[in-house]
């Protein structure tokens, strides 16, 4: 897939509020960073699909050095790990919490954040 087509598909999924997951048609490896080749086998035969829900695998809360409290998640989506911010009640946050993705745009930065799904 050429870069423009891959980029368009990736951002269409992201803007729909889902996490873009790239899968390699050659070896089956899945990952979330936008890149033109598979990090395992270097194939450029990639697919893009979206996923909406995952489970908190790990998290960290940053309360120092920023003008706000930042909560960073590592979310597991069927074995694919995604790093993203958490928007939700920190008291609800725990390992294993089901979370749902949401699209956010701040100035020129487009990203996915997660909210509790339960
Ligand atoms: Zn591959």
Compute, in angstroms, the gap from residue 104 CA to the centroid of ligand 1.
30
Q: What is the pLDDT of residues 51-75, one digit of tens each?
A: 999 999 999 999 888 888 899 999 9
Q: What is the pLDDT of residues 13-52, one digit of tens each?
A: 999 999 999 999 999 999 999 999 999 999 999 999 999 9
Compute, in angstroms, the gap from residue 80 CA to the centroid of ligand 1.
14
Compute, in angstroms, the gap from residue 24 CA to the centroid of ligand 1.
5
Q: In terms of Cα–Cα distance, which of 3, 1, 20 is closest to 11?
A: 20
Compute, in angstroms, the gap from residue 33 CA to the centroid of ligand 1.
14
Compute, in angstroms, the gap from residue 7 CA to the centroid of ligand 1.
18
* pTM (predicted TM-score): 0.89
Compute, in angstroms, the gap from residue 14 CA to the centroid of ligand 1.
22
Find all residues with CB under 8 Å of 95, minimum gap 6, and list them.
Answer: 56, 57, 58, 59
Ion ligand 1 nearby residues (CB, 5 A): 24, 26-27, 29, 38, 40-41, 43
């Amino acid at each position: 897939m050429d870069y423009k087509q891959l980029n368009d598909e990736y951002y269409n999924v992201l803007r729909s509020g889902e996490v873009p997951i790239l899968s390699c048609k050659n070896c089956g490896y899945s990952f979330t960073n936008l890149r033109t080749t598979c990090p395992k086998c270097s194939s450029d035969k990639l697919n893009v699909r979206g996923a909406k829900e995952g489970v908190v695998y790990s998290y960290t809360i940053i309360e120092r050095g920023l003008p706000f409290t930042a909560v960073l998640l590592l979310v597991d989506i069927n074995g694919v790990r995604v790093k993203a911010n958490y928007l939700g009640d920190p008291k609800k946050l725990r390992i294993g919490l089901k979370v749902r993705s949401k699209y956010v745009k701040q100035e020129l930065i487009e990203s996915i954040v997660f909210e509790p799904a339960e």
